[in-house]
Structure 1
Amino acid sequence: MRSLTLIIAVLSLAFTAHAAPAGGAACAGGMVFEDRNGNGRQDGAEPGLQGVVVSDGRTVELTAADGRYRMSASAERPLFVVKPATHVLRARGNGLPDHWRGAGDGLVGATGDNVAPPCRPFALAPFVPSPSRREGLQVLVFGDPQVKSGADVGYFERDIIEPLMQDAAIDSGHGFGALYFDGLAGDLGLSLGDIVDDTLSLYPGMIAATTRLGVPWLHVAGNHDLDLAAASDADSLATFRHYFGPDAFAWEEPEATFIVLDDVIHLPAGRPAYIGGLRDDQFAFLDAYLPTVARDRLLVLAVHIPLFDTGGRETFRAADRTRLFQRLAKFPNVLVLSAHSHVQQHVRHGAEAGWPGATPLHEYNVGASCGAFWSGAPDPTGIPDATMADGTPNGFARLRVAPGGGYGLSWHPARLKPGNPARTQAMHLHAPRVLRQGAYPAWGVYANVYMGEADSRVEYRVDGGPWQPMRRVQQPDPLLLAENVRDDASPALRGFDRSPEARPSSHLWRGALPTDLPAGPHRVEVRAFDRWQGEQRAEIAYRLDVAADGDARATR
């Protein structure tokens, strides 16, 4: 745990700010203990745990030698325990991690008028990693599940959750054990906001679906998770906190520290009614907590609204970004995970963006699990196509964190039709089916490389010839453009909502197709060199035909 010197220093801050919020304390003070037998109760010689961080999202307190803390919790400001890397938490009754206390979390049987009961104890069991955990932490990342109806919850469950359950290995090495979480799909899960699409009554269904994976799951608040009738930003997440607990908190694993922050500032009279940014209490929490964080592991910041601006306007408050960057730059290994945009992209923040670090800050703006809001023509099972506006298929991401701060990322499309080599986990290809032999080579093969960046190396070859570089282009994905045309031409709706209008993709490459080859079919191979997954390949074919009428008109 932490040193005694640090305990004293942080306690001196924490004990000055323990007055209950205006709404009254749901519980006050409590215990963090080592649950050695896994029954959730402090039995016999099970000791209190010293030096565990407890916070109300503004101040932090470290538990005393007997595991006790003095902080109060309320519905307006839940308190949470920062799960230490050395231990694991039990699940609450709904399957989410039992890491917070709020309304209804006091000890049963407490008495006394106007006296808040003690908070239920936090039970932490020792973390015992399995051999495969030595390879690193496996984190599932969902961007914007964003369901608006019971039908959408069903799509989410069938399209994202159930395939993950089926594909899970026999033992992923999560090391939690059946008494805590028994998920095999990963060690930890993150949903990056917009859990629902303003229909907050769908939270229980989404929790039930997600916790089927049996993985400890953390939730970020999004702009569609707000109580829209709230008169202030302070009141806008009352429903979210009721179901998910704190909107700003931390969580520690042996390989990484995760800081989850609500970065949606509700502006009831604004147009739009929100902007990206952080509150003063969140900066106070960062200032109190960050000095306790180990520097030899990855620091992951999970937010909803990207830290970069979009659409030619300020979408994240510049002053808040500067304050945040100043704090993050003190750490050698930092990764930002955001969502909100319903496209997939990587941003490397440098000095021009105000980042003061020695190397650029990597922000992975994760694609949406709902894709384009569960839109598009349904497949044979009834699930909408859900392709995003940049051509990325809906799905989820994986973050793999190695000891020492190294990490890898990958995108996993929700549905891959077997036997189609033009669609892989890493990319999909598009090319014309037939061209005239000898025509001007004005037509190309396109590769949408989902995890591609500006410096990605993407190459192609025809019929096993020499590899040639493909050119990165900023234009719409032709595969989605073709879907737009099908929607336009249809006399009736092809789905509940049509696919989104294709917009320029940041990860699209093009290579010209030769037409001076013999008539007949030709095989096109594409390879992309992913910085984390290595070489990835896909292939497609086109055919050259001799003009049927023997037309000998000169080509351009």
Structure 2
Amino acid sequence: MLSSPRARAKVRLALALTALAAGSAAAIVPATAAVASPSSDAWNETAYRGQVEVVRTTDGPADPSVLTGTVFVDRDRDSVNDRNERGLRGVVVSNGRDVVTTDSRGRYRLPVYDNMTVFITQPSGYQVPVDASNIAQFHYNHLPEGSPELRYGGIEPTGPLPDAVNFPLVQSNPAKSQEQHCVIAGDLQPYNKTEVGYAREGAINDLAQRHDYQGCGTLFIGDVVGDDLSLYPDVKELTGLTNGPARFLPGNHDLDYDAETAEHSFDTFRAQLAPAYYSYDVGDVHVLALNTVRYPCTPDVDNADGRRPQCDDPAEKPAYNGRLGDDQLAWLERDLAKVGRDKLIVVASHISLLNWADEGSPIHNVDQVREVHDLLNGRKAVAVSGHSHSIENMKTGDLAQGWRDLFGVEGLPFPHITAGAISGDWYSGELTEDGYPVAVGRDGGMPGLLTLDVKGNSFKERYTVTGKDDEVQTQLGINSPAYREWYAARQAWNEDQQGEAPEPGDPNVVDREDLTGRTWLTTNFWMGSTGSTVKVKIDGDPEREATRTQELRGEDQLVGPEWSDPHAAAQQLLSDASLADRSMHLWRFELPADLAAGEHSAEVTATDSYGRRFTDELRFQVVEQR
């Protein structure tokens, strides 16, 4: 995430939250059934475990300016390129700049650079080996002298160029299937071992119960840890509990902050987890795992237009920026040139190509977003990202004012999805009975995981709230004048805590004055988007349509209590947490001013852009006077 307030203490919420938490009932109409396992075999019984084969001799390679090797089918699964094992033709291999394909015997040749990561693009129908922690093994770091002195170690000296680096593969039906379930895990981001435990009890436990993602696996899209890179072994223990290959891309909290140049800013990440960027194929999907964090950013590269002054003093005040390096951009173009135009392209990054929560910030979107859009012109694509700890389902054609102002974008050329966060609002708030914090996000979203359900080259996105069924997709609340008055008073008290704190009262009670002063029933539909609808039925009357607060037609963000998620904001104002004072997936329905005194029920049906329906219910009371 952009700037996590880690100085905050974990504040236990008051008992008043019990009433708030009861404000929204669980959904009662399932939209999608739980996905069955594609195989009766447990992942641990079938996973291909091994490593990249690095071959060295005393003589060394004949030409130290060229790296050679073979991509081979590892029939006996020992990670050694035996004589009777065939090489695989047409596999893409890269050094992070150049991109080549293997010949008829599986051989490749690549130019050598002093600091490079060599990796293959896993071809569809094959699986690269995974280690004991389920982490995909498909790359080799070449850094002869090792990293400069870094707090967390970086890359140890690799020595002279090996004679060969060979990449083993096995055939895999799950990785070949036209049906894939690709888990996108945003911002795990533990800052200590306690928070590692929260992740284990929460989203990781959910993944341990699922068996639908063996082919595509889980992609952790940055901020794998929260600045303390010594926690990577703890993260590996977590991925060891999952049921598919685990892959990672870097975020701004995975940095070697003591690196003096961007060349070495992710050395520890590269040593422990993965290349800084790479690609892989499953089924008809090509995943581009990008590094969109440049640190330290510099005035000549990052602030040439004057919009990023935080980049002007990298020596004394180092900062990061959302940007692709020149080598990566060249690699991206070359990689895509090898990809069939019938493939679905998943562009994964930490900092979003474009996001809504920070749509007006040049550092929290990617400088070269238009170049990336141009490279994908005419292709079927979707972008997925993390960083903002928000859930955003943005469709083709959507537009925010900041995207136009900063980058000249006049509408999204393909969907962009911000995947939420496992850590939610940095593991803040009270603990649930299952042992992890509520952590309600800045948009009122809940911690969880995104899944892309793919058939061929088409997909549908779904969001699974931590510890909940897939049917739970909405959160209801009441935004009344009384709530808005309390919001302002409590916000002021939080800034200057004098006297008694204003109390929120019962969130599900409104009086006649509230109704005549505009009171809305709000629906926070986490995967709601353009093309979604929300309809409300009061006391069994004919249903009527609610209005989306942000239409994403080029308008600026609407911010403040009137545009907030009251169910979320009322909890957040009672603790040291973010504030859901805006959202791009909030709908509201004005309650009739003539509702009779007494108990009432609101039944809400939220329908997503694919026609999947979810229902939720809120019971509330009307009184003549408080």
TM-score range, shorter chain: 0.7 to 0.9
Structure 1 counterpart of 2:463: 411
Query: Is contact 1:75–1:102 with CA below 8 Å preserved after alignment?
Result: no
**In terms of mean alpha carbon deviation, does 460-469 or 531-540 score higher?**
531-540
Structure 2 counterpart of 1:373: 426
Among 371, 383, 390, the alignment partner of 1:323 is 371
**For residues 318 and 190 of structure 1, do their structure 2 counterparts lie closer, same or farther at Cα, with a shift above 3 Å needed?**
closer
Structure 2 counterpart of 1:393: 446
Distance 2:164 2:196 in 1: 33
Distance 2:373 2:624 in 1: 60
Indicate whether 1:158 and 2:196 are aligned: no
**For residues 439 and 215 of structure 1, do their structure 2 counterparts lie closer, same or farther at Cα, with a shift above 3 Å needed?**
closer
**Deviation of 1:76 (Å):** 3.2
Distance 1:415 1:191 in 2: 19
**Deviation of 1:437 (Å):** 6.6
Structure 2 counterpart of 1:18: none
Structure 2 counterpart of 1:240: 269
Q: Tell me the alpha carbon deviations over residues 279-327 of structure 1, each in whole angstroms, 9 at most, x when there is no partner.
A: 1111221232211101112011111111237363422677622322221
Query: Is contact 1:438–1:516 with CA below 8 Å preserved after alignment?
Result: no
- Any residues of structure 2 matched to 1:479-518 within 5 Å, and which? 479-487=567-575, 498-514=576-592, 516-518=594-596
Distance 2:463 2:263 in 1: 35
Indicate whether 1:384 and 2:384 are aligned: no
Structure 2 counterpart of 1:146: 189
**In terms of mean alpha carbon deviation, does 386-395 or 33-42 score higher?**
33-42
Structure 2 counterpart of 1:210: 239
Structure 2 counterpart of 1:434: 509
Q: What is the one-letter code of the residue matched to 2:387?
A: H
Secondary structure of the corresponding residue to residue 224 of structure 1:
coil
Among 346, 354, 359, the alignment partner of 1:300 is 346
Query: Is contact 1:515–1:544 with CA below 8 Å preserved after alignment?
Result: no
Structure 2 counterpart of 1:490: none
Among 222, 241, 244, the alignment partner of 1:193 is 222
Query: Is contact 2:535–2:606 with CA below 8 Å preserved after alignment?
Result: yes
Query: Is contact 2:124–2:175 with CA below 8 Å preserved after alignment?
Result: no
Query: Is contact 2:350–2:385 with CA below 8 Å preserved after alignment?
Result: yes
TM-score, normalising length: structure 1 = 0.80
**Deviation of 1:29 (Å):** 2.2
**For residues 155 and 455 of structure 1, do their structure 2 counterparts lie closer, same or farther at Cα, with a shift above 3 Å needed?**
same
Distance 1:32 1:296 in 2: 25
**Deviation of 1:199 (Å):** 0.6
Structure 2 counterpart of 1:98: 137
Query: Is contact 1:298–1:401 with CA below 8 Å preserved after alignment?
Result: no
Secondary structure of the corresponding residue to residue 223 of structure 1:
coil
Distance 2:477 2:581 in 1: 16
**For residues 533 and 98 of structure 1, do their structure 2 counterparts lie closer, same or farther at Cα, with a shift above 3 Å needed?**
farther
**For residues 455 and 47 of structure 1, do their structure 2 counterparts lie closer, same or farther at Cα, with a shift above 3 Å needed?**
closer
Indicate whether 1:341 and 2:394 are aligned: no
Distance 1:471 1:272 in 2: 44
Indicate whether 1:457 and 2:509 are aligned: no
**Deviation of 1:373 (Å):** 0.9
**Deviation of 1:129 (Å):** 4.4
Q: Which runs of 5+ in 2 are unaligned?
A: 1-62, 145-157, 298-312, 479-506, 550-557
Q: Tell me the alpha carbon deviations over residues 343-381 of structure 1, each in whole angstroms, 9 at most, x when there is no partner.
A: 111345659555699x72211122111111111122234
Distance 2:513 2:374 in 1: 59
TM-score, normalising length: structure 2 = 0.71
Query: Is contact 1:192–1:302 with CA below 8 Å preserved after alignment?
Result: yes
**Deviation of 1:39 (Å):** 3.6
**Deviation of 1:96 (Å):** 0.8
What is the number of residues matched between the two proteins? 484
Indicate whether 1:127 and 2:172 are aligned: yes
Structure 2 counterpart of 1:262: 291
Secondary structure of the corresponding residue to residue 239 of structure 1:
helix
Query: Is contact 1:325–1:355 with CA below 8 Å preserved after alignment?
Result: no
Q: Tell me the alpha carbon deviations over residues 449-506 of structure 1, each in whole angstroms, 9 at most, x when there is no partner.
A: 001124421110112211111122342211122113433xxxxxxxxxx222332111
**For residues 50 and 311 of structure 1, do their structure 2 counterparts lie closer, same or farther at Cα, with a shift above 3 Å needed?**
closer
Q: What is the one-letter code of the residue matched to 2:195?
A: D
Query: Is contact 1:367–1:394 with CA below 8 Å preserved after alignment?
Result: yes
**For residues 165 and 267 of structure 1, do their structure 2 counterparts lie closer, same or farther at Cα, with a shift above 3 Å needed?**
same
Secondary structure of the corresponding residue to residue 147 of structure 1:
coil
Distance 1:296 1:383 in 2: 42
Runs of 4 or more, structure 1, over 6 Å off, are: 24-27, 72-75
Structure 2 counterpart of 1:79: 118
Distance 2:578 2:126 in 1: 45
**Root-mean-square deviation (CA), in Å?**
3.1
Structure 2 counterpart of 1:494: none
**For residues 253 and 356 of structure 1, do their structure 2 counterparts lie closer, same or farther at Cα, with a shift above 3 Å needed?**
farther
Secondary structure of the corresponding residue to residue 205 of structure 1:
helix
**Deviation of 1:263 (Å):** 0.9
